[in-house]
Amino acid sequence: MEPEKEAQARAILEAAGVDNVDYYISEADAYSEPVPLAEIALFLREAWRPVLASDTEGWVTELVDELDSRGERDDLYALRFLPERPELLAALKAVAASGLPEKSLSTIVRAFQVGMLEHLVNLLDGGHCFEDGLVDNWSLASVDENIDPQYRFGDMKHMLWELDPEKEAEES
């Protein structure tokens, strides 16, 4: 990798929160085409943002209040981008009334969100084989201003766990 590109990729990987920067830089050198390390790191960092922290408290009450105050409007730009779902509001009110500690619910919700994120990243990586024997033929790619593919993103699932906001807490 050219020194300028390496310095830029290193700076972005560090800013995104990747711990094993040297490893990813050395992996990039093994490819014959440019590997979009910085784009992968930024994509994955943003993909983790809506994942609930396992110790989050207060979000059930906050969401009940938000959904309750909407009335009949379908406000996709409100808290957590949730459309009107009467069954969701009823379920949240039941959970709030149950006395279940929100940390417990946060842990459960986070586990499902992380599973979905991992599945999505596996699909975007391509090379997935479906249960019915079909194989996908797509991949996430960077494109230029003419929408021409420049390079394939490749193995995002490898870096996925580097950017888990809770990885340091799990390692301690």
* pLDDT one digit per residue (tens) for the chain, 172 residues: 778 878 888 888 888 888 888 888 887 765 545 557 777 888 888 899 889 999 999 988 888 887 777 665 555 555 455 666 678 888 889 999 999 998 999 999 999 999 999 988 888 877 666 677 666 667 777 788 998 877 777 678 888 888 898 886 665 5
Residue 85 is assigned to a structural domain of this protein: no
Residue 72 is assigned to a structural domain of this protein: no
CA pair distance 125, 136, nearest whole angstrom:
10
Residue 87 is assigned to a structural domain of this protein: no
In our burial notation (b when 16+ CB lie closer than 10 A, e otherwise), range 8-27 reads ebbebbeebbbeebeebbeb
First to last CA, the chain: 34
Residue 94 is assigned to a structural domain of this protein: no
CA pair distance 106, 58, nearest whole angstrom:
10
Q: 114 is written with which tokens?
A: 């992380």
Residue 82 is assigned to a structural domain of this protein: no
Number of domain units in the chain: 1
Residue 80 is assigned to a structural domain of this protein: no
Residue 107 is assigned to a structural domain of this protein: yes
The CA-based angle 17-128-118, given to 5 degrees, is 35
Residue type for 172, please?
A: S
Looking at residue 156, its pLDDT comes to 80
Containing structural domain, residue 48: 3-53+101-171
Looking at residue 135, its pLDDT comes to 67
Residue 62 is assigned to a structural domain of this protein: no
